Structure 1
Amino acid sequence: MKRFFFLAILLWSANTRAQQAPALKLITCEGKAQGTYYLVKYLSADTTSMDKRIDSLFGVIDQSLSLYKPGSAINRFNETGHITMDEHMKAVIQKALFTSKATSGLFDITVKPLVYLWGFGVTKPSFKGVPPPDSIKAAMSYIGYRYLRVKGDQLYAAKKGVQIDCNGIAQGYTVDVIGHFLSQQGIDNYLVDVGGELCAKGHNHQHKVWSVGIERPSPGDTAYEPVQGLVRLPGKGIATSGNYRRFFDQGRTRFAHTIHPGTGVALHNNIISVTVIAKDCFTADAFDNPLILMGVEKGLTFIAQHPEYGLEAIYIYKDKDGAIKEAFSKGFKAYMEF
Structure 2
Amino acid sequence: MNKIKPTLIFLLLSCIAYSQKEPVKIEGEAQGTTYHIIYFDKANRDFKPEIVQILKDFDLSVSTYIQNSIISRINSNQKNVEVDKYFIACFKKAKEVWKNTNGAFDPTVYPLVNAWGFGPGKKQKIEPKKIDSILKFVGFDLIKLKGKHIVKKDSRVQLDFNAFAQGYSVDVVSEFLNSKGITAYIVEIGGEVYAKGKKLDGSNWTVGIEKPIDNKETTNDLKALVSLENLAIATSGNYRRFIIENGVKYAHHIDPKTGYPTKNNLLSASIFAKECISSDANATGVLVMGLEKAKLFLASHPELQAYLIYSDEKGNYQEYETNGLKSILKEAE
Q: Give the structure-2-normalised TM-score.
A: 0.87
Residue in 2 that maps onto 1:33: 30
Q: Superposition pairs for residues 47-86 of structure 1, below 5 Å?
A: 47-80=44-77, 83-86=81-84
The answer (yes or no) to whether the contact 1:217–1:227 under 8 Å persists in 2 is no
The answer (yes or no) to whether the contact 1:253–1:268 under 8 Å persists in 2 is no
Aligned sequence identity (%): 37
* Cα RMSD (Å): 1.9
Q: Superposition pairs for residues 127-206 of structure 1, below 5 Å?
A: 127=125, 131-206=126-201
Displacement after TM superposition at 1:293 (Å): 1.4
Q: Distance in 2 between matches of 1:271 and 1:337?
A: 20
Q: 5+ unaligned residues in a row in structure 2: which ranges?
A: 1-17, 214-219
The amino acid across from 1:89 in the alignment is F
Residue in 2 that maps onto 1:260: 255
Residues 163-200 of structure 1: CA deviation (Å, up to 9, x unaligned): 10110111011000000100111100000000100001
Displacement after TM superposition at 1:274 (Å): 0.8
Q: Which runs of 4+ in 1 moved over 3 A?
A: 21-25, 225-228, 250-253
The answer (yes or no) to whether the contact 1:238–1:277 under 8 Å persists in 2 is yes
Indicate whether 1:272 and 2:270 are aligned. no
Q: Radius of gyration: which is bigger?
A: 1
Q: 5+ unaligned residues in a row in structure 1: which ranges?
A: 1-20, 219-224
Indicate whether 1:286 and 2:284 are aligned. no
Displacement after TM superposition at 1:298 (Å): 1.6
The alignment covers a number of residue pairs equal to: 307
Q: Distance in 1 between matches of 2:194 and 2:265?
A: 28
Q: Distance in 1 between matches of 2:263 and 2:46?
A: 43
Displacement after TM superposition at 1:124 (Å): 2.3
Residue in 2 that maps onto 1:106: 104
Does the residue aligned with 2:314 lie in a helix, a strand or coil? coil
Displacement after TM superposition at 1:22 (Å): 4.1
Residues 262-304 of structure 1: CA deviation (Å, up to 9, x unaligned): 0101123222211111111111011001101111122122111
More helix as a share of residues: 1
The amino acid across from 1:58 in the alignment is L
Residues 37-82 of structure 1: CA deviation (Å, up to 9, x unaligned): 1011111123332221111010110110011112110011011176
Displacement after TM superposition at 1:113 (Å): 0.4
Does the residue aligned with 1:161 lie in a helix, a strand or coil? coil
Residue in 2 that maps onto 1:124: 122
- The structure whose RCO (Cα within 8 Å, separation 6+) is larger is 2
The amino acid across from 2:93 in the alignment is K
Of the candidates 30, 40, 55, which is equivalent to residue 43 of structure 1? 40
Does the residue aligned with 2:323 lie in a helix, a strand or coil? coil
The answer (yes or no) to whether the contact 1:300–1:328 under 8 Å persists in 2 is no
